[in-house]
Chains A and B, each alone.
Chain A
């Protein structure tokens, strides 16, 4: 019976138009996956108008094709450029780019693609077999269990703090604080919105990820100037990648399962489960010294997880009409438009459609990974061009990507403001991963804690699901406490074990900038504390959780910063100028519209920074400008026009 439907659906999918639609969607998905800041949501919304010219199966196949490869192809950008291709591949950007700089890009990419493929396949398998049984599982995950999942995420994230404990914790608190901006979950408070409508919804994840990671990378790229960058990225042989993948196959598999669970939970995106999987990779590793400096296990875990999540996001979407993530929400809209109303009746009413979805996703996961293998050598050759030349289109594409959030100037300002923060963190020796994790988890943690406590009082602590999930935290803690005690005894007996240092991001931190950043963050926390006093008591919990440890930590870092202060700003002087230039760019876009400042910025980046020759620079610049306009046009229609004077 089931096999029957599966075969009918496969047959339906192998109709030429449908296959063409599927692969057309896949190509769009791959391109958008590679463009930093533009991911599944952008790809799906750009395809949306097209699908209405197709029959239901082709249209849906097209969207699925796009959704299921975004997290495969984003690996390329993350590894080669160090700017996350999409928010959920930030761990890949940290580990993969570090490996690429050591000349091991092929290894990182190979593992990334294979892990993505496995993630996709595990996701599809889960869809296939879980659909009949997943209903009860999703129903078992009530708010207390969801809260516990968020806690597990935070627990895993603690592994990313790095070796400078104070800076890592302060970064995590800063992330939590960024996450509480916007509407409070518990009471009708809008927190830290400064009267700006823009902030009423809080920060967009895309902009935070791009700002913290992407902008800082672009600044370094631009600073590298016209000279050939010190590290050529070679993609020579995939062999190492395959070997590494095979060695870590179970890690990939476990990460995929984490991803699948993340997808079951509505509205917890791929980012959260990716970080949880990455944290799991760290915790399960014996030698943690390479995390943050190029650890293949980090890539294996995060790529396995993010692809599995987007696909299992479809489980709550199809079973309960509750979208699992943003791209799934658009897919749900498309289903409605074709007259499918997902819900409890869906499996019995349209079994063929369910299988069509499974096949589409599985097929594109495999084909997408193969295509990534095929195109990467060519793309890697691009990175032999001076980075400054690649940075020019990159910075503008990030602007377009950020502008997708609300299409207001706020998006662009926020991108560069957070970019400045990310840059300061990178150079001040603050790890950025805990900040992003804090940001991602702060919303769900607060929401589920509040709802749980409101609905269940404290009785939820004894729910079986809560206890099972809680054991994920408690058991490793007990085990490591046991190991610690044993290690101590052994040390006493004269056996010295090599204690692995915790991971950290590689950075040569500037003492001057560290001091500036500490002061800045301290001021933010002081202000946050002051404004917090005006909130309803229930809205204070999460900000307090960020501020109470964050403020003393930041103050301590200020003291440390002042004590260690050195006037070493000159080392980063070149990058500082570029940061300033980008901020000037944002302000002039606001004042006089997109066109003129963008042309000036392109000219400055290509002639000034990349030292291109006059005519090649002009030609290349024109192409970049045209692409940016095309993207604006395709995605949104109207680029920002000037607030003061509108120079077109």
Chain B
């Protein structure tokens, strides 16, 4: 699908649509940018990349053609490895991915060839998560969570992938949650929750808004907390997308009367910040010049101020905004290089509790 340009030109001819060619000068004039998504075409990451595509085409200098390319396989490792081998250093190849790519890197899993922590961070799109429970648990809000009437049962895909932050949040809050891993995706998990097979679940915000909200309104689900948002380097703020819900940090404070600390919290904050606060991150080749990153930071700001983007984003993600710039990059890079203590904790937890082999 490299040839979206060619294809779309043909499409325009065939279908009689007019392709707006804005001849402009600028760094990206006449260039095309490949956005590599290491997941399938129907997935959330792909859809999100397609959602952002027209805005970057509009706001990057020179109006480059953006091609979103899917390279699924190996739980996103294949696509990221491909990026490692083929990315150009001029900002025209982007790896747009989630914590599913970051976690195997952080944990040092086999088969990982990409040096994620060396990559430059162009921009990121928050993709927060909301936890909710079944009414049968008797839990009305986060503070009742330890008094659930029924044993808590969580469904997930695999411990070392995108379920990791959710599972770590249970560790932080010291909850007795039994997890059943092995589902195909978060969609089937949600279905199992609706069927009454599971009673606690995490969903990413866009899905929460469109799929879980109706359940909440029908009295079939009770939202309890969100992953939280970054505030001065701590994952404590309320998520602007669901400001009515407390963050995991707040819930801990409420339950224990003190701020969270210790290895569990450190591990959760590291993994969760990459997953939620910087959910979908666009990485670039390590040698990409700063000039290009600045252009992307400026474009991200312009997009955030674009009324059309604001309206669409309000509808889809309840107003999530793009993050970019040195501060964003610093936080993400820090999270990708956890301390040895955190690494050991994670590997022990995954190895002992979830049977993950390294």
What 0/1 pattern do residues 183 to 224 of B give for CB contact below 8 A with A?
A: 111011011101111100000001100110011001000000
Of the candidate stretches A360-368, A391-399, A401-409, A492-500, the one touching chain B is A401-409
Q: A198-B74, A330-B41, A633-B3 are in contact. Are A455 and B198 (CB under 8 A)?
A: yes
Smallest CB gap from B48: residue in A: A336
Expressed in whole angstroms, the Cα–Cα distance for A345 and B72 within the complex equals 31
User: A323 touching B195 by the CB < 8 A rule?
Assistant: no
Residue numbers in A under 8 Å from B153 (CB-CB): 455
Residue numbers in B under 8 Å from A633 (CB-CB): 2-3, 6
Residue numbers in A under 8 Å from B14 (CB-CB): 24
Expressed in whole angstroms, the Cα–Cα distance for A54 and B19 within the complex equals 12
Expressed in whole angstroms, the Cα–Cα distance for A447 and B183 within the complex equals 7
Q: A53-B11, A188-B160, A195-B111 are in contact. Are A266 and B188 (CB under 8 A)?
A: yes
CB of B357 within 8 Å of the partner chain? yes
Chain A, 333-365, CB within 8 A of any chain B CB: 333, 336-337, 339, 341, 343-345
Smallest CB gap from B207: residue in A: A321
Residue numbers in A under 8 Å from B233 (CB-CB): none
What 0/1 pattern do residues 42 to 78 of B give for CB contact below 8 A with A?
A: 1100110011000000000000000001111111011
User: A330 touching B42 by the CB < 8 A rule?
Assistant: yes
Expressed in whole angstroms, the Cα–Cα distance for A456 and B180 within the complex equals 11
Per DSSP, chain A at the interface is: helix
User: B182 touching A321 by the CB < 8 A rule?
Assistant: no
What 0/1 pattern do residues 173 to 203 of A give for CB contact below 8 A with B?
A: 0000000000111111100000111101100
Expressed in whole angstroms, the Cα–Cα distance for A189 and B160 within the complex equals 11
Smallest CB gap from A407: residue in B: B71
User: A337 touching B47 by the CB < 8 A rule?
Assistant: yes
User: A139 touching B355 by the CB < 8 A rule?
Assistant: no
Of the candidate stretches A42-50, A83-91, A149-157, the one touching chain B is A42-50
Partner among B70, B74, B110, B160 whose Cβ is within 8 Å of the Cβ of A195: B110
CB of A450 within 8 Å of the partner chain? yes
User: B74 touching A201 by the CB < 8 A rule?
Assistant: yes
Smallest CB gap from A50: residue in B: B11
Expressed in whole angstroms, the Cα–Cα distance for A7 and B205 within the complex equals 36
Residue numbers in B under 8 Å from A50 (CB-CB): 7-8, 11, 15
User: B41 touching A45 by the CB < 8 A rule?
Assistant: yes
Number of B residues with CB within 8 Å of any CB on chain A = 70
Residue numbers in A under 8 Å from B70 (CB-CB): 45
User: A198 touching B197 by the CB < 8 A rule?
Assistant: no
User: A333 touching B43 by the CB < 8 A rule?
Assistant: yes
Expressed in whole angstroms, the Cα–Cα distance for A184 and B75 within the complex equals 13
Expressed in whole angstroms, the Cα–Cα distance for A17 and B17 within the complex equals 11
CB distance from A268 to the nearest CB of B (A): 10
Q: A53-B8, A197-B81 are in contact. Are A406 and B111 (CB under 8 A)?
A: no
Residue numbers in A under 8 Å from B350 (CB-CB): 188
Count of chain A to chain B residue pairs whose CB atoms are closer than 8 Å in the complex: 186
Residue numbers in B under 8 Å from A17 (CB-CB): 15
CB of A567 within 8 Å of the partner chain? no
Expressed in whole angstroms, the Cα–Cα distance for A266 and B81 within the complex equals 30
Expressed in whole angstroms, the Cα–Cα distance for A408 and B77 within the complex equals 12
User: A408 touching B40 by the CB < 8 A rule?
Assistant: no
User: B1 touching A323 by the CB < 8 A rule?
Assistant: no
User: A447 touching B182 by the CB < 8 A rule?
Assistant: yes
User: B194 touching A188 by the CB < 8 A rule?
Assistant: no
User: A143 touching B75 by the CB < 8 A rule?
Assistant: no
Expressed in whole angstroms, the Cα–Cα distance for A592 and B15 within the complex equals 39
Smallest CB gap from B70: residue in A: A45
User: B182 touching A451 by the CB < 8 A rule?
Assistant: yes
The CB with the most chain A CB atoms within 10 A, among B14, B47, B50, B73, is that of B73
Of the candidate stretches A217-225, A230-238, A278-286, A635-643, the one touching chain B is A635-643
CB of B175 within 8 Å of the partner chain? no
Residue numbers in A under 8 Å from B155 (CB-CB): 451
User: A49 touching B192 by the CB < 8 A rule?
Assistant: no
Expressed in whole angstroms, the Cα–Cα distance for A54 and B82 within the complex equals 32
CB of B27 within 8 Å of the partner chain? no
Expressed in whole angstroms, the Cα–Cα distance for A344 and B209 within the complex equals 12
Expressed in whole angstroms, the Cα–Cα distance for A536 and B357 within the complex equals 9
Expressed in whole angstroms, the Cα–Cα distance for A52 and B82 within the complex equals 27
Expressed in whole angstroms, the Cα–Cα distance for A328 and B41 within the complex equals 10
Expressed in whole angstroms, the Cα–Cα distance for A361 and B147 within the complex equals 50
CB of A166 within 8 Å of the partner chain? no
CB distance from A38 to the nearest CB of B (A): 14
CB of B158 within 8 Å of the partner chain? yes
What 0/1 pattern do residues 315 to 345 of B give for CB contact below 8 A with A?
A: 1100000000000000000000000000000
Partner among B188, B190, B192, B214 whose Cβ is within 8 Å of the Cβ of A267: B188
**Interface on B for A, CB 8 Å cutoff?**
1-4, 6-8, 11-12, 14-15, 17, 19, 40-43, 46-47, 50-51, 69-75, 77-78, 81-82, 110-111, 153, 155, 158-160, 180-185, 187-188, 190-192, 194-198, 206-207, 210-211, 214-215, 218, 312, 315-316, 350, 354-357
Could you give 23 example pairs across A and B, Cβ below 8 Å?
Answer: A24-B14, A49-B1, A50-B11, A54-B15, A188-B158, A188-B159, A195-B111, A197-B73, A197-B74, A200-B111, A320-B194, A321-B207, A323-B42, A326-B40, A329-B40, A329-B43, A333-B42, A341-B210, A344-B218, A456-B197, A538-B355, A633-B3, A637-B69
**Interface on A for B, CB 8 Å cutoff?**
17, 20-21, 24, 44-45, 48-50, 52-54, 138-140, 142-143, 183-189, 195-198, 200-201, 266-267, 316, 320-323, 326, 328-333, 336-337, 339, 341, 343-345, 405-408, 447, 450-451, 454-456, 536, 538, 633-638
A139-B191, A201-B75, A320-B191 given; 13 more Cβ-contact pairs under 8 Å: A49-B11, A50-B15, A143-B197, A187-B355, A188-B159, A188-B350, A188-B355, A195-B111, A200-B78, A345-B210, A450-B182, A454-B180, A638-B2
